[in-house]
Amino acid sequence: MGQIDLPVCFGTAANFRKATLTFEVVGFRGTYHAIIERPGYVKFTAIPNYTYLKLKMPMPKGVITASSTYDHAYECDIECVEYREAVESSVELASRLEALAAEDLEPKCHAGSFEPAEGTKKIPLDPNSSDDNVVTISANLDPK
């Protein structure tokens, strides 16, 4: 949708680093607030450790560690899975509704009985002949 520069700050009041990251703005929903990728790591010279779920980066007063507790990571994981399931079920629901709508329409499509509008009249195809060749037209049409 576009880009936006936002100041991002890691650390504590006593020891912190601030940098401006350019975020790509996306219009769909997700379970996180934001996702920091390679440009973010580079800006902060941050090193992740996925085993310990810790992120370290050099700071003015020594290296600082940003970490998530396993509980929080677990909560986010659950939320993510639940959201995905919700999206899947809503997609399924939509397709079922569509199928249902198509079923409803079907009898009308195959009814085959074409009912003429009210007020018809029969006029002979050839006014000069006496045979029964007639055509049915709307009553408010001129026979010619």
Partner 1 sequence: MARMIVPQYLNWSSTPITFDRDDHPDKVVAPGIYTLVVDPIIANTRLSKVLMDGGSSLDIIYLETLDLLGIERAQLQPMASCWGKRRY
Which member of 76, 97, 123, 134 binds partner 1 (CB under 8 A)? 76
CB 11 within 8 A of CB 65: no
CB 20 within 8 A of CB 5: yes
Q: Candidates 47-55, 95-103, 112-120, 121-129 — which segment interacts with partner 1 by CB under 8 A? A: 47-55
CB 14 within 8 A of CB 61: yes
Residues paired with 55 in a beta bridge: 48, 66
Asked whether position 73 contacts partner 1 by CB under 8 A, the answer is yes
83: helix, strand or coil: helix
Q: Compute the least distance from the CB of residue 64 to partner 1, in Å.
A: 10
Asked whether position 90 contacts partner 1 by CB under 8 A, the answer is no
Which member of 14, 15, 61, 67 binds partner 1 (CB under 8 A)? 67
Asked whether position 25 contacts partner 1 by CB under 8 A, the answer is yes
Q: How many residues contact partner 1, by CB under 8 A?
A: 58
CB 127 within 8 A of CB 134: no
d(CA 8, CA 98): 45
Q: Which of 51/113 has CB closer to partner 1?
A: 51
Give the pair of three-digit tokens for residue 111.
């009814």
> Which residues lie near partner 1 (CB under 8 A)?
1-10, 21-43, 45-58, 63, 65-68, 70, 72-74, 76-77
